[in-house]
Structure 1
Amino acid sequence: MASNVEAPEPWYLALLGFAEHFRTSSPPKIRLCVHCLQAVFQFKPPQRIEARTHLQLGSVLYNHTKNSELARSHLEKAWYISQQLPQFEDVKFEAASILSELFCQQNLVDSAKPLLRKAIQISQQTPYWHCRLLFQLAQLHTLEKDLVSACDLLGVGAEYARVVGSEYTRALFLLSKGMLLLMERKLGEVHPLLTLCGTIVENWQGNPIQKESLRVFFLVLQVTHYLDAGQESRVDWSMPPVSIGLHNDCVKAAEVMKQFQRASIKHYQDVSRYISRAVFSSSQVKSVKPCLKQLQQCIQTISTLHDDEILPSNPADLFHWLPKEHMCVLVYLVTVMHSMQAGYLEKAQKYTDKALMQLEKLKMLDCSPILSTFQVILLEHIIMCRLVTGHKATALQEISQVCQLCQQSPRLFTNHAAQLHTLLGLYCISVNCMDNAEAQFTTALRLTTHQELWTYIVTNLASVYIREGNRHQELYSLLERINPDHNFPVSSHCLRAAAFYIRGLLSFFQGRYNEAKRFLRETLKMSNAEDLNRLTACSLVLLGHIFYVLGNHRESNNMVVPAMQLASKIPDMSVQLWSSALLKDLNKALGSTMEAHEAAQMHQNFSQQLLQDHIAACSLPEHNLISWTDGPPPVQIQAQNGPTTSLASLL
């Protein structure tokens, strides 16, 4: 709150000092702080002090109270007065920045946009504020899902940064643009842009802290893009060794005097949203390993470095992307995503536990919305892992936890509602509530516009119809829309392999075994190519079942044994249950009494574990979430008397 006023009067310094003391008290004494600042106006101060005091009052009221109308009044006065004063950029543009945030909070986006455009227009001689305001307006367009306008602004910012000699901020603008292009699925534009970013980062010899920040930003986008888009889109850029020197992953850039806020690129929320989509649409799992390893090595190096207190010489460089601690969580997150898609579920759970523990510590000191977003995405991953590993009750409690987080943030719910209903649909399948599963998937389809998530939901809905066996018209309509042989709707390698599996499953139920084998062999070829272990295990056990039905017991055994081994490694309880049942019957048919007895015992153990977990899950009050298909998450979940679902197909 300090002020740089020429020859300040003692009364002003005294009031300002008292206001700052009250503001920084523990707990803050905001009412007394406001009284001190309001007292400044009693002295009829000069315009510079008047404008700055209005800004300080508006900022305090905006950040510490719910009196948004009074905050708005002070900020508007600061903006109006400061425009009439020469060389008063810090007050002028900070007032515009905070006022536009307040407008957005009040859902007055149409008031925020022209304000930011005016501020951008008159800030071209002030590089720091010009860049910051461009980022802010781009973020506003992004929140409105006007990604075209946001990308245009980021492109303008990149060119401006180049002109004023800031290659660092140019890279930040370009990386932010690349992230939005990924969200918009303009993959043809992403490849050259990321290649350019890689060259800029490699050649830039500035502040080591900032260089490490760019490196992590670049690698996070490269890894998630590689998972989402596939090998053909990989950027060919070899990361040089981490340079000796200070720092940091997330670039904390610098502090610009006290009256400047730390300038943070708010597009990190969009990174998390982009990654959350990849939860359901991973593609090239095996091929991404080298990029992911680079990212993990980079974050390990960053965690050992110290923050640099030296301010960059170019004011356009005064930005940071994410705090170091946030970036560490983000790297955990993409590692979890990769592990889950590859079928290394124990590894995914281990890194999720680490990330959630780190998040709990951070949330005690930091109320940044990005932390809740990271928490939701991590829970989405671990919930799917729990369902696979036979921990439905825990998964259901974690789904309820996601609901609680979404209750606290309407924007979080808007961004994750479709995923939440998808997770409930998967849970419903696991407890054999097929009508509820259909309702949940249908709700999720209504709430999503993301093509990969849509395809994932349709694939699972098709499996529900196959199991129900009496929904032929709806099933064939769905399968036409996810035909892996013709016009498949997305580029995801994993989803296309899953679509072949669904085709094979349907052919198996219809008794068309040769057709089923063709589809399943295609799934095996694709899943083996990218280490999609769960799909591999499912395909092997289904092929084994087909050969068993056809009487080819030796060939069946050759499929089921590796399926069991792979399912145990994952571990996938349902595939282990299925495999052990087949091994029991196979060994009986082959005359292997001892092996048949061991398989029967395994099957009994898996059955009991799944049965107990099933009863525990259905007995939880959270089980009633399966009936929620409309509106925000229910605030209170009523308990029920006991399980109401069929256990027959588990045994």
Structure 2
Amino acid sequence: MAASTKAPEPWYLALLGFAEHFRTSSPPKIRLCVQCLQAVLKFKPPPRVEAGTHLQMGSVLYRHTKNSELAQTHLEKAWFISQQVSFLYISQFEDVKFEASSILSEFYCQQNLVDSAKPVKAIQISQQIPYWHCRLLFQLAQLHALEKDLVSACDLLGVGAEYARVMGSEYTRALFLLSKGMLLLMEQKLSEVHPLLTLCGNIVENWQGNPIQKESLRVFFLVLQVTHYLDAGQVKSVKPCLKQLQQCIQTISTLHDDEILPTNPAALFHWLPKEQMCVLVYLVTVMHSMQAGYLEKAQKYTDKALMQLEKLKMLDSNPILSTFQGILLEHIIMCRLVTGHKAAALQEISQVCQLCQQSPRLFTNHAAQLHTLLIGLHGLSCISVNCMDNAEAQFTAALQLTTHQELWMFIVTNLASVYIWEGNRHQEVYSLLERINPDHNFPISSHCLRAAVFYISGLLSFFQGRYNEAKFLRETLKMSNAEDLNRLTACSLVLLGHIFVVLGNHKESNNMVVPAVQLASKIPDMSVQLWSSALHKDLNRACGNTMDAHEAAQMHFSQQLLQDHIAACSLPEHNLISWTDGLPPVQFQPQNGPVTSLASLL
């Protein structure tokens, strides 16, 4: 045991100090840092120093270079040595052993070697060391979640919550339970979610500790509540929770970090840094604004969040930042499509493609959304220029790439609308509507999607001339009004107005069209504005009213949408409509000109 108490050699401290100096320089001097650590190994140090040095080298190479093979070699040596000799130097080797296991697990996961990444052995031997046992349980649960084995992940999080309770850390217990609640929400196991969130709410409110930790738990809890409401399409009902969340993040931003660490080793965790929590609150606010149809508000918060993300990504390479960025871009793309800015949307789709090129795992999670956005971008133009094969290929690709029920339902609903607008695909529409019939075994509980399916049924009735079957649209209008689903309300009003025009009931039509025009302008939804203003013009003409100003406005909408459509089609990225398989292309061929690099367009 003498070796374990011997003071470090001066040469070791000097080399270690130089290595840390080079690592923390601005910019970091990684080559010099690695050379200092390599010099330590040339002195043939004792096992505790050798293992620690291999861990440091592996970590530096993994975090700061692309030399994955050498990083793996050093991390595996650190893990091997620390296991072989840890019984001699227990106190010295705890951190080296388990940190090597943790980083090695993360490394394997990045290499898509998920089975190798599971730190099962380290978990088994860490039960007497609360910090590492909890950390490794979190990590293994995350790996199961990445494999879509949410049952195993939830079981592990339950084990972690009970372990934290036994260790006397209600804070870490809450983190485990909230993480489990997040996975249960993903699985739509609502009967298990509600009692769990109630328990979490009580723990969070009753726990007295570090103010930032308490507020971060509250943010986690409120984010789950808000996303639960949004998944259910309950845009109006979520407002009180969303307001609490926004107030909570404002409180956190005024608090100073407390450098006093918890005395309980099981409590040495935090959920997210404050800066990342701010981005997340922006993100859920964008999601709410998008569902409610407040598109200008959604764009404003997206811009703020993306600016914050750019600053964070210059300092941190955490994959969660790219995930946030991908989701934000998807929402801003939807905003662009609704407000009639296809060219801008196409540029932003190219940004998502670039993100996916950098992270295959990100592509796996966002591929279906990308194909769906391309249909949103090109769907109507596909119909107008007789390119339905492209549209169907995109939808087929999207459906094959998703197992998420809500996204599947969203894709099928959009495919049905494209078939309806095409006008000669009635059998296919009936087949799709049978699969998403809201009156029979509707597979999900989303209020918003259920209302959308009723709208599609009403749209089909309109195109088939069954005008008296307006009950579907009445139901859509009732549901969308109940939860402030403004875009769906506007679409339902204008379609009902169209039906009443055909039936000759001009007064009732006017009652529908006027609020539709006002609401579409408020959103602003350019397509519905064009539709409602054209219908309003025809209605006034039939009633003998003059509408010169309104006709001019309608012409403005038409020209603006046409010019934007032409601009989008002239971009090289327009060829993405033909992409249906594998990773998105990194560059596109313009119709008239040389090959343009994706990077040059950003």
Distance 1:502 1:226, change over 3 A: same
Q: State how far apart, in whole Å, the 2-side matches of 1:287 and 1:408 are.
A: 38
1:485 is displaced (CA, Å) by 1.8
Distance 1:385 1:79, change over 3 A: same
Distance 1:647 1:177, change over 3 A: closer
Deviations 1:72-122 (A, max 9, x none): 3333332233235466311111111122223333433333325xxx11111
Distance 1:4 1:50, change over 3 A: same
Of 299, 303, 316, which aligns to 1:366? 316
Kept after mapping to 2: 8 A contact 1:61/1:70: yes
1:486 is displaced (CA, Å) by 1.6
Distance 1:426 1:110, change over 3 A: farther
Q: Which one is further off, 575-584 or 1-10?
A: 1-10
Of 147, 150, 167, which aligns to 2:150? 147
Deviations 1:5-52 (A, max 9, x none): 641222222222232233333443333333332333444433222222
Kept after mapping to 1: 8 A contact 2:413/2:456: yes
Matches within 5 A, 1:91-106: 91-106=96-111
1:610 is displaced (CA, Å) by 1.3
Kept after mapping to 2: 8 A contact 1:583/1:596: no
1:544 is displaced (CA, Å) by 0.7
Kept after mapping to 2: 8 A contact 1:303/1:324: yes
1:62 is displaced (CA, Å) by 2.6
Q: State how far apart, in whole Å, the 2-side matches of 1:19 and 1:2 are.
A: 27
1:506 is displaced (CA, Å) by 0.6
Q: Which one is further off, 204-213 or 4-13?
A: 4-13
1:642 is displaced (CA, Å) by 12
Kept after mapping to 1: 8 A contact 2:58/2:72: yes
Of 406, 423, 436, which aligns to 1:452? 406
Q: State how far apart, in whole Å, the 2-side matches of 1:109 and 1:567 are.
A: 48
Q: State how far apart, in whole Å, the 2-side matches of 1:2 and 1:506 are.
A: 84
Q: State how far apart, in whole Å, the 2-side matches of 1:191 and 1:390 are.
A: 40
1:429 is displaced (CA, Å) by 6.8
**What number of residue pairs does the alignment pair up?**
592
TM-score w.r.t. the length of structure 2 is 0.92
Q: Which one is further off, 426-435 or 203-212?
A: 426-435
Distance 1:457 1:558, change over 3 A: same
Distance 1:70 1:210, change over 3 A: same
Distance 1:642 1:483, change over 3 A: farther
Kept after mapping to 1: 8 A contact 2:326/2:352: yes
1:596 is displaced (CA, Å) by 8.3
1:465 is displaced (CA, Å) by 0.8
Unaligned stretches of 5+ residues in structure 2: 85-89
Deviations 1:523-562 (A, max 9, x none): 1010000001111111111111111111111111111111
Kept after mapping to 1: 8 A contact 2:589/2:596: no
Distance 1:357 1:230, change over 3 A: closer
Deviations 1:238-277 (A, max 9, x none): xxxxxxxxxxxxxxxxxxxxxxxxxxxxxxxxxxxxxxxx
Distance 1:53 1:135, change over 3 A: same
Kept after mapping to 2: 8 A contact 1:52/1:91: yes
Unaligned stretches of 5+ residues in structure 1: 232-284
Distance 1:426 1:151, change over 3 A: farther
Q: State how far apart, in whole Å, the 2-side matches of 1:648 and 1:540 are.
A: 43
Distance 1:426 1:46, change over 3 A: farther
Distance 1:542 1:601, change over 3 A: closer
Q: State how far apart, in whole Å, the 2-side matches of 1:75 and 1:562 are.
A: 65
TM-score w.r.t. the length of structure 1 is 0.85
Distance 1:222 1:643, change over 3 A: farther
Distance 1:576 1:112, change over 3 A: closer
Q: State how far apart, in whole Å, the 2-side matches of 1:649 and 1:55 are.
A: 39
Partner residue, 1:34: 34
Deviations 1:163-206 (A, max 9, x none): 00000000000011111111112111111111110000000001
Q: State how far apart, in whole Å, the 1-side matches of 2:349 and 2:419 are.
A: 24
Q: State how far apart, in whole Å, the 2-side matches of 1:387 and 1:105 are.
A: 34
Distance 1:99 1:360, change over 3 A: closer
Q: Which one is further off, 29-38 or 481-490?
A: 29-38
Deviations 1:574-631 (A, max 9, x none): 111111111111112212235786577667xx11111111111111111111111111
Kept after mapping to 1: 8 A contact 2:350/2:598: no
1:306 is displaced (CA, Å) by 1.3
The DSSP-based 3-state class of the residue aligned with 2:262 is coil
The DSSP-based 3-state class of the residue aligned with 2:587 is coil
Kept after mapping to 2: 8 A contact 1:584/1:599: no
Q: State how far apart, in whole Å, the 2-side matches of 1:568 and 1:67 are.
A: 54
Kept after mapping to 2: 8 A contact 1:482/1:489: yes
Kept after mapping to 2: 8 A contact 1:587/1:595: no
